[in-house]
Structure 1
């Protein structure tokens, strides 16, 4: 069945992009919007790194279901 593989792939990619965005904002490299509560906060950078890593695992795991 290919549908779960595609859904996991979309979820993994979404987590990768979201995690990368949170890391960049948490490090203060992206300030969009500049008054965001995430910008320059190290805890968001660490949380984003965790989401990014988990997204990589989910994306890799999706290959198992794509037959």
Structure 2
């Protein structure tokens, strides 16, 4: 009887640990996805700034050479 109670408790502990681990993994995945999205937005902004910088440099060079 005691052994059965211990096994039941161990199963519950395992299920609780597994559920907690799954939840933690889900949260990590969501955080990772959010960070990836933010990184993509920053990359897009950087590309826009680089394109604008290139245009400004070209314009300044043309002004100097004119």
Normalised by the length of structure 1, the TM-score is 0.42
Q: Which is bigger in relative contact order (C-alpha 8 A, separation at least 6)? A: 1
Q: Greater helix percent: which structure?
A: 2
| Structure with the greater alpha carbon radius of gyration | 2
